[in-house]
Structure formats: C-alpha cells, structure tokens
Amino acid sequence: MWSTGREVAAGDVVIVWQTRELVQPLLITPGKDFNSKFGHYRHSDLVGIPYGSRVDSRNGRGFIHILRPTPELWTMALPHRTQILYLADIAFITSWLDIRRGSRVIEAGTGSGSFSHSVARTVGPSGRLYSYEFHEGRAEKAREEFIRHGMQDIVTLTHRNVCKDGFTVENSADAVFLDLPAPWDAVVHAKKALRKDRPARICCFSPCMEQVMRAVSALNEAGFTDITMYETLLRPHEVQQFPTPLPLSHVIDKLKDMEKFREEKRLRQIANHKRKREDAEFSEPDKRARTDELNAGDQNSLQAPLITVREEDDANEVEAQMVSLSKVCHEVRGHTSYLTFARLVPFMPETLESAAQAPPLTDN
Ligand code: SAM
C-alpha cells in the first residue's frame, strides 16, 4: 500500500499536513501547483524530499509538512463521498471482529473507503477484503483509489446491491461488517458467506436504537449468538508537564528537619512552663530579666527550616523532576452509530451425538 520509498517521488500520493483540522491528500504531479492559505508550492519542489519534511512556501506565507499516507491519516484526509467511519470505531470493530493478518473480510457498503484502508492493512497480502457498493459512481471512485494506493491485490470491489443479490463468496469469510441503511436485509446473505468450520463474526453499524432492534431480531432469527451492542465514547486526557523544583530526596530531608524542629519546640515549651512556674517565686525585676533571656533564646535557636533549592543542586537535577499530570476531560462522542456484534457458531452434530452417548454423571 502506498509508496515505501524514503523520498517523495512523482506519482506518489502524499498527505499534506497544514493544521490538525486541515489535512489533505495530494497526488504529486510535476508541473502542477499546490495553493492554500499557508502559501504557494510547486509539486516539483516536493519531489526528492524525505517523507516527514517541513516545506516552506515559495511566497513566504507559511509552511506545510509532507507525510507518508497511513490508513489513519487517510481517514483524516480522504475526500468524503459519504459519511465515514472514524478511528475509534474502526479500531473497536477490527478488534471485536477478530480481524487479523490473513483474515477474509466482507464489508458493505464501501462508501468513501475509510474502513477499507484500515482493514486492507490489517489483513495484508495473505488476507482478502471483499467490498460491496451499490452506488456506481462511488464504486468507480473507490476502485480507482484502491488501485492508486496499491491495494488491488488485497481488495476486491464489487458493484452490487447486497441486500437483494447477496455476496460473491460462500462459506469462507471470517467476518462481515455491514454499514448499510438496512443491514437486517443482508443478514441472511452474510450467514451464507461466513465460514461454517469455526466461529465467525458479524457487526452491524446502525445509527439509532430502532435500527439496532431490527438488526438484533434479524441476527436472532438467522441463528447468530452472543449478540452484543456497544457504543464507542472517547474520553480525552489533557496531559501537562509540571516542574517539581526540588529533588524528592531534598524534600524528604527538609521534612525530617521540620519534624526535629517541632520536637525541639515542644520540649522548649515544656521547659518554659516549668520555669514560669518557678519564676512565680522570684522578685519583679528578676522576673523581667529571666523572661527577656528566655525570649531571646527562642528567637536564636527556633528557626523553622525553609524548603529552598540548595546551592549544590545543579540545574539538570532540578529539571529532571518534571512530572506529567493528566486531567480527564468530559466524555465526547467517538462514533456516529451503535455497533451490534454477533457470532455464528458452527453446528456440530457429532459433538451433540457424543454428548448424548456419554455415561450419565453420578454423585461419585
Ligand atoms: N464504511 C464506509 C466508510 O468508512 O467509508 C462508509 C459506508 S456509507 C455510510 C454506506 C454506503 O453503503 C453508501 O456508499 C451506500 O451507497 C452503500 N449502500 C447502501 N445500501 C447498499 C446496498 N444494499 N448494497 C451495497 N451498498 C449499499
């Protein structure tokens, strides 16, 4: 998938990163220009630069970064022809459908190909993605993209209505993902396509609870089990670094000093009380002289230790004491629909037979 070269070449699809909100794909075509509010660039200037480079504009209006595409970047940058799946859902679905290297996966519909790119990378050349799209224009565009991105050996795209005509494979898919307006109409076809020699999985992506209920009913009727619905929510963490200006050992030493100080103060107060009681027996001028002496003693010897940076603490040691703290932000929606998963577990009559022939369990 995509170029694996270190440097950008003519004909490569690159990702132009302008800001977090402005990420665009670009087909490098020498002779063409790229213009944005961050300046003016010539495609030919990008040929030969290493992927990941920052490029300054020709007219001094800003800069861009040229990145090698990944499925994640492609999802951020792709031209939208439909609503698409985003990374939180893609990751969750891939994991719960148990999609891995070598898996045979079905998706319908292809839409803008956001999910397709991630799955194609996961299954790799030893696997297969069968993708179905009934809108001819979208199917054509997706096909062109898959070829341009070097995915044609992994993805087979078919233009068809899967709710009416079903899929092109039988008894061989490990997983089916349905992102359709009426996934329940495709459930029986999905059952036909899934393998029967070991458990296989399905996921329906539905935007509202009524549609989830219809999908669940269809899955139940078709004999799927372990039907479970999930909603993906993101909880971002805001991470910040704070300096702790003192090495921990230094703080511990100072706390010990403080403890010692408090103990000395306590003993001194006891001694004072004792003396004051004894003073009651002295004459008035003698008493004043004794009180002045005691107060002076307190000020001279009872100084609380201050926690400050010692002179010998060098700057590096202090800098090394940075701590990262994370603040949990409010939950945000990380999805556009509910995810209903189910399993198709093979019916194995021989297992039932042997269970029936097994001797009955006894108390011994
Ligand atoms: N998952 C895709 C992605 O991540 O880019 C987006 C899929 S989009 C929401 C749904 C697509 O399903 C549309 O392109 C639509 O044309 C297609 N579709 C709807 N009904 C279909 C059917 N019965 N057979 C095949 N494709 C269908």
The three-state secondary structure class of 324 is: strand
Calculate how far, in angstroms, residue 48's C-alpha sits from the geometric centre of ligand 1.
38
Query: The tokens 């100072």 sit on which residue?
Result: 254
User: What is the total residue count of the chain?
Assistant: 364
Which structural domain range is residue 84 located in? 74-236+336-344
Q: What's the confidence (pLDDT) of residue 188?
A: 98
- What's residue 284's pLDDT? 58
Same domain, yes or no: 104 and 86:
yes
pTM of the predicted protein model: 0.74
133 annotated as ligand-binding: yes
pLDDT (tens place) for every residue of the chain, 364 residues total: 788 899 999 999 999 999 988 999 999 999 999 999 999 999 999 999 999 999 999 999 999 999 999 999 999 999 999 999 999 999 999 999 999 999 999 999 999 999 999 999 999 999 999 999 999 999 999 999 999 999 999 999 999 999 999 999 999 999 999 999 999 999 999 999 999 999 999 999 999 999 999 999 999 999 999 999 999 887 788 887 777 666 777 777 878 888 888 888 888 888 888 887 877 765 555 555 555 555 544 444 445 444 444 444 444 444 456 777 777 777 665 666 899 999 999 876 665 566 556 555 554 4
Residues whose beta carbon lies within 6 Å of some atom of ligand 1: 82-85, 108-109, 111-115, 132-135, 138, 161-163, 179-181
Last residue within a domain, chosen from 69, 89, 115: 69
Dist CA 343 CA 347 (whole Å): 12
Per DSSP, 52 falls in state T
> Which numbered atom of ligand 1 lies nearest the CA of 138?
14
Q: Is residue 258 part of a domain?
A: no
Token couple for 69 = 């595409």
Single residue among 45, 69, 93 that ends a domain in this structure: 69
- Tell me how far apart the alpha carbons of residues 356 and 348 are, in angstroms, rounded to a whole number: 13
Residues 25 and 109 in one domain: no
Give every strand in the sheet of 22-27, ordered side by side.
22-27, 13-19, 63-67, 54-56
Phi, psi of 79 (to 5 degrees): -70, 120
Amino acid type, 349: P
Contacts of 83 (CB under 8 A, 6+ apart): 111, 336
Confidence check on the interface: ipTM exceeds 0.95, yes or no: yes
Question: Cα dihedral angle (192, 193, 197, 203), rounded to 10 degrees?
Answer: -100
Which atom of ligand 1 is closest in space to residue 85's alpha carbon? 4
> Is 161 in contact with 109 (CB distance < 8 Å)?
no
Q: Which residue has the tokens 């499925």?
A: 71
Of all helices (H) and strands (E), which one includes residue 125?
A: none
Looking at the structure, tell me whether residues 229 and 201 fall in a common domain: yes
Q: Are residues 57 and 95 in the same domain?
A: no
pLDDT at residue 21, as a whole number = 87
Identify whether the C-beta of residue 339 lies closer than 8 Å to the C-beta of residue 232. yes
Ligand 1 centroid distance, CA of 344 (Å): 23
| Predicted local confidence at residue 176, as pLDDT | 98
Whether 204 maps to a domain, the answer reads yes
Q: Whose CA is nearest to atom 18 of ligand 1?
A: 109
